[in-house]
A and B are shown apart, each in its own frame.
Chain A
């Protein structure tokens, strides 16, 4: 990182939004906004990454993010190799580094990795010359999710500066929340988080956010209400009291939505637990922009691949 030409992204990897500049986030969002046009044509393909190889390695279940990345690479004409933990040698006890060494033998241009451990993408990025894109590392970051969230917000709100974004749910264990907090703060937005004391401790203030413990305290001033998924099966012991109580204190229903700003955006990284984070009428209502998030996700991932690997974006291996 560190180029004398401000136009070109010289970064090798996209590991997280912490420390990424406002100028660079803006560049990625602008590129995504332009590249969207490809996805509206009849022939949804451009030759930008023809002959380049993109490997996607998902060590955690995910159908949609994975498909989104795969499709993004394919629309840019790259060759795509998919790799999922269940069918791979990790079952045979192969370490991540050894798996990566094997992948390296094919000389890929980029690896998209989702992994249950924070820092896994960083370990590979340090050791190998190809670009690494973090599709989610443990509870740490999920930068492309936050980028697509910010693009969606920007589409509706214009500018993110001074906007108030509320994030509700298990903030502590959410990589979506973390990346959004880093990115939104860089873009000048205010972030307020709400959740149970076990999932949303006051200590989160050290990230530069306000901390509340009831959704009612955050709906009224918010420009955006982002609801996070509660995954009961992934919570540790004694983290929450029950789905009914959770929905009562933290769920977004029509009555709460009515108290919010009439133009408020309702967002969710998906998939939605209907009746827990949101009632169906909110999820399907006219404030919800969840499906736009999905299509923006594809555009953001295309933009990132273009910026990291495309001719204009610079060759990460050049040296």
Chain B
């Protein structure tokens, strides 16, 4: 972790919350040499942070950055900037690029280039299988050596139970979290929206909730069998939430995240938007009862949140609904989406966006003296007008036009502002 010599900073009069320890307070926070300091430094840059809230910065464990192969969608620089704007100090890129990040040399090369970004820190997840085809194991050891922070199926759910089991067995000794999309590809068939009443009205083929739930069940059973650490990215139904909660109670090492936008949107929004393709998503938007279950699960700390950032260009979205590529941009609005859905419960949002994902990657985000200053400063009372992304190249922000609560004021990585809207 880079700990640089920057001018000391004093955040004056800030409300700070450390979700991991449950501690909170009001007052001045000092940042010296990249860490939170005990005492007030001389010659500091003073930031008037009254009315603002300080949290550990958010962490994204699975964002689609288009390098290599899809640079028109996003590149390391724009992705890093988008993350920083959204309050993320660390963004982990998924391996579903072209070519797929399934070999150490490629990952190492990307990591070297990523060290030059000036926004959020960018790291990489390595593919579990070659080409993400779900057949042969990728060179997991070399990916780890090259700096992978996680291993992933890249959104291509591994339907073959034997291959998935072997992938979990093989990767377990390396100690990295395994990110899996819970799904059952054959059952998903050609569905594009949640299979339910809305699908019947709008005449689109449905993806049954059971497909996700079978995938969740498979992942949990194999995590239990192998002792592997599995993270479900992402879940969307009440039943999935229940399965994850029960498994964790039994001591299975499974965690899960939901897309932040799924806390606000439902399948009815596909109908109301008249087939707007920015709502063409995987997992699909679900009905209200599932949305409420996700909100509740976040509140209780049972699941964390992901921006599920998948920026796409007009070329990929200006199509008939079922032919549009699924995915939505989300780094820049995830925080506001979550805070709005949780009625301003900033501590729960902090747990879900900052602590959970960070701990998944083996980090210990703490707001305490001596800790590295990986922080985000937010205005939790501000109202923003969500718009198409400013930093990300994507044109597919489904929340554009909505009034949301919560604005990211500044993002700091190791004591250095990587995004700031207050001239800090």
Contact = CB atoms under 8 A, between A and B. Distances in A.
Contacts of B322: 117-119, 138
Contacts of B323: 117
A277 interface: no
Contact of A119 (B196, B197, B202): B202
A46 interface: no
A120 B205 CA distance: 15
Given A96-B320, A97-B318, A119-B321, A206 B197 contact: yes
Interface in B203-222: 203-205
Contacts of A115: 320
A15 to B, nearest CB: 9
Contact of A118 (B189, B196, B202, B318): B202
Contacts of A235: none
Given A140-B202, A206-B200, A207-B200, A118 B321 contact: yes
Nearest to A174: B203
A126 B205 CA distance: 22
Contacts, number: 60
Contacts of B189: 236
B184 to A, nearest CB: 14
A203 interface: yes
Given A117-B322, A117-B323, A206-B197, A175 B274 contact: no
Nearest to A126: B274
B201 interface: yes
Interface in B299-333: 318-323
Contacts of B205: 139
A95, A115, A119, A204: most-surrounded residue (chain B CB, <10 A)? A119
Query: Is the interface on chain B under 10, 10 to 19, 20 to 34, or 35 or more residues?
Result: 10 to 19
Interface in A111-130: 115, 117-120, 122-123, 126
Contacts of A123: 275, 320-321
Contacts of B318: 95, 97
A175 B323 CA distance: 19
Nearest to A120: B320
B204 A118 contact: yes
A178 interface: yes
A141 interface: yes
A117 B203 CA distance: 9
A204 B323 CA distance: 25
A18 B320 contact: no
Interface in A230-285: 236
A109 interface: no
B201 A119 contact: no
A117 B200 contact: no
Contacts of B197: 203, 206-207
A203 B322 CA distance: 22
Nearest to A118: B203
Interface string B352-369: 000000000000000000
Nearest to B190: A236
A137 interface: yes
Given A119-B321, A120-B320, A175 B200 contact: no
Interface in A13-48: 18
Contacts of A18: 201
B197, B320, B322: most-surrounded residue (chain A CB, <10 A)? B320
A126 B320 CA distance: 12
A141 B203 contact: yes
A139 B275 contact: no
A95 B318 CA distance: 8
Interface string A177-192: 0100000000000000
Nearest to B192: A118
A191 B404 CA distance: 43
A252 B319 CA distance: 40
A175 B203 contact: yes
A203 B200 CA distance: 9
Interface string B365-376: 000000000000
A117 B320 contact: yes
A120 B275 CA distance: 9
A95 B319 contact: yes
B174 to A, nearest CB: 39
Contacts of A122: 274-275
A141 B203 CA distance: 7
B188 to A, nearest CB: 12
Contacts of A236: 189-190
A179 B63 CA distance: 41
Contacts of A178: 200, 203
A203 B275 contact: no
A16 to B, nearest CB: 8
Given A120-B320, A206-B196, 5 more contacts: A97-B318, A122-B275, A138-B203, A139-B205, A203-B197
26 contacts: A95-B318, A96-B319, A97-B319, A117-B321, A117-B323, A118-B202, A118-B275, A118-B321, A119-B320, A120-B320, A123-B275, A123-B320, A126-B274, A137-B203, A138-B203, A138-B204, A139-B203, A139-B205, A175-B203, A178-B203, A203-B200, A204-B200, A206-B196, A206-B197, A207-B201, A236-B190
